[in-house]
Amino acid sequence: MSWIILGIAVVTEICWALSLKWAATVATWQASSVPIILSFVNMGLLALAMRGLPAGTAYAIWTGAGAIGVIIGGVILFGDKVGGVQAAFMALTVIGIVGTKLFAQT
């Protein structure tokens, strides 16, 4: 169950980071409240996942998968550019995430 909660935390992390850029472009108090709310949800889910997972494992997967998701989301939603070298390092991050999950002690 902790892995599922961590997966949901990763999704909220991605939504949170992308909502920061969106809120900056919209510039209303309603838009600014979205990342604030998501940050509380995000941290709560991460803390809940850490009840059943080692903190380092949970945090490494949360940040790595979140970073990859934000990059992909930025490309799709905001037209951000990703170069070949950056994509290669993203692939290394994904390999690290998969390895961390496969060899986790829980």
Spans of the chain below 50 pLDDT: none
pLDDT at 49: 97
pLDDT at 6: 97
pLDDT at 105: 77
Structure tokens at 23: 């809120």
Global confidence as pTM? 0.88
pLDDT at 103: 87
Contacts of range 92-98, beta carbons closer than 8 Å, 24 or more positions apart: 93/64, 93/67, 93/68, 94/64, 94/68, 96/60, 96/64, 97/60, 97/61, 97/64, 97/65, 97/68
